Amino acid sequence: MVKKRFNPIKDKSSEIIEFLMSSPDMPDDEALCFKLRLSIEEAVDNVVRYAYDGGIGWLEVGTNLDNDQPVLTIELRDAGTPFNPLDRDDPDVSLSADERQIGGLGIFLCKKMMDNISYRYQDGNNILTMTKKIK
């Protein structure tokens, strides 16, 4: 697994996203990378904005490519406030933007772009895992 810990994470969303997108595990497929980037941006931005009061805390991110499947796994781990973004109901996208409740669209997009997203709280850490078949 290619991974790195960022500490503190305040104002480092772009740096974290670029680290993940530059991983040797990333596919060459431009359309697939667009979906991966969008999902990564949403997930990283949520942690940077909400996990820690004032963004003072760490985020460990990593990628792993299972060539046998082939499946790319992206993992985000933080010790911020426990929060499962998957517990939230999906927004009603049939409503206009003015009629919808604020929030929840980012993780909804992640669910649509990735093949699987899971969350667990373990040893005082939020762990968000996203997987995508890459071939």
Domains of the chain: 2-133 (3.30.565.10)
Q: Tell me the two tokens of residue 9.
A: 């994470």
pTM above 0.95, yes or no: no
Query: What is the pLDDT averaged over residues 28-51?
Result: 94
The CA distance from 131 to 88, in Å, is: 20
Q: What is the pLDDT of residues 46-91, one digit of tens each?
A: 899 889 988 799 999 999 999 999 999 999 999 999 999 888 665 5
Burial class (CB in 10 A: 0-12, 13-18, 19+), 85: buried
* Cβ 59 vs Cβ 77: under 8 Å: yes
